[in-house]
Structure 1
Amino acid sequence: MSYLDRDTMGIYKAHKGPGPYLMGANTLTGNNVINKKEEALGEIKEIMLDMRTGKVAYAVMSFGGFLGLGDKLFAVPWTALTLDTGNHGFVLDVEKEHLANAPGFDQDAWPDMTDAAWVNQLHAYYGTKAYQDPPI
């Protein structure tokens, strides 16, 4: 058995594995994101780890476009997402219009995700609390 022999929820196929509450980050990329109305919002493209704290800071998701063209990327605070084991993805409690107006970026022009102003703006937009930097 290979460590890659997992289903979409990160559970090892040969025996019960770590999922769904402890999962490899690579099993989360490609997962769908829906809202509470079960409207499709996008897809997880990246999981951003804060290397200072060891915590997941953001999920970068795509929204819009057609067949991957013209997709806008969004950093969504990890705390704004809820695991949806029934649909094998995540729930983000926002309306489609709210996401369409969210601060996003082009895949070739990522923001400085460590910039305090950017962090505060992002968390204010999603109504989440910004994590604090660890003491130096």
Structure 2
Amino acid sequence: MNFEERNTYGMYKDTDEQGPGPRLMGADTLIGNDVYNENNEDLGDIKEIMLDMTNGQVSYAVLSFGGFLGMGEKLFAVPWDALKLDTEHKRFVLNVNKNRLESAPGFDKDHWPDMADQAWVDKINAYYETRSQSDQQNRQNMY
């Protein structure tokens, strides 16, 4: 696979036709993607993709919500497992209504949380009703 095998959206050409979208995508192609909820309400857009360098997994998408031209916007670290790819509309879907998102644990661009802090990880996963990557790994190792 090489760079030329990417299409204009940065998606690597799929060869096995499995799943709802491409198997591999360039992380930079996800920045700026819209996020909607299941009621078709615009929740914002992806500002950053956070990788766990210990296991090579995507942990969070940083979602920007509210504000105007970057002023007054609030950022949210949304667990990757809470997002679904909507290939038909080329966007992500997060099963959270706007009111719940407004009250979610968030941060501003100058005051990012310590995403390695286990208490913070637990709080975020509880809020979005997901499991952390390490929890999933531990469950897999048990079987």
Query: Which of 55, 68, 92 is equivalent to 1:66?
Result: 68
Structure 2 unaligned segments of length 5 or more: list them: 15-20, 139-143
Size of the aligned set, in residue pairs, is 129
Structure 2 equivalent of residue 103 of structure 1: 105
Deviates more, 1:18-27 or 1:118-127: 18-27
- How many Å apart are 1:104 and its aligned residue? 0.3
How far apart are the structure 2 equivalents of 1:50 and 1:131?
Answer: 9
Name the one with the larger helix percent.
2
Cα RMSD (Å) of the superposition?
2.0
Deviations along 1:55-107, whole A, 9 cap, x unmatched? 00000010000122111000000000000111111000000001000000010
With over 3 angstroms needed to count, the CA separation of the structure-2 counterparts of 1:24 and 1:37, relative to structure 1, is same
CA contact (8 A) 2:11 2:26 kept: no
Do residues 33 (structure 1) and 1 (structure 2) align? Answer: no
- How many Å apart are 1:51 and its aligned residue? 0.3
How far apart are the structure 1 equivalents of 2:115 and 2:11?
Answer: 31
Structure 1 equivalent of residue 87 of structure 2: 85
Structure 1 equivalent of residue 17 of structure 2: none
Give the letter aligned to residue 131 of structure 1: Q
Query: Which of 118, 121, 126 is equivalent to 1:119?
Result: 121
Structure 1 unaligned segments of length 5 or more: list them: none
How far apart are the structure 2 equivalents of 1:74 and 1:97?
Answer: 14
- Which TM-score applies when normalising by structure 2? 0.83
Deviations along 1:33-54, whole A, 9 cap, x unmatched? 0000111001001000000011
Structure 2 equivalent of residue 23 of structure 1: 25
- How many Å apart are 1:20 and its aligned residue? 2.5
Give the letter aligned to residue 78 of structure 1: W
- Which TM-score applies when normalising by structure 1? 0.87
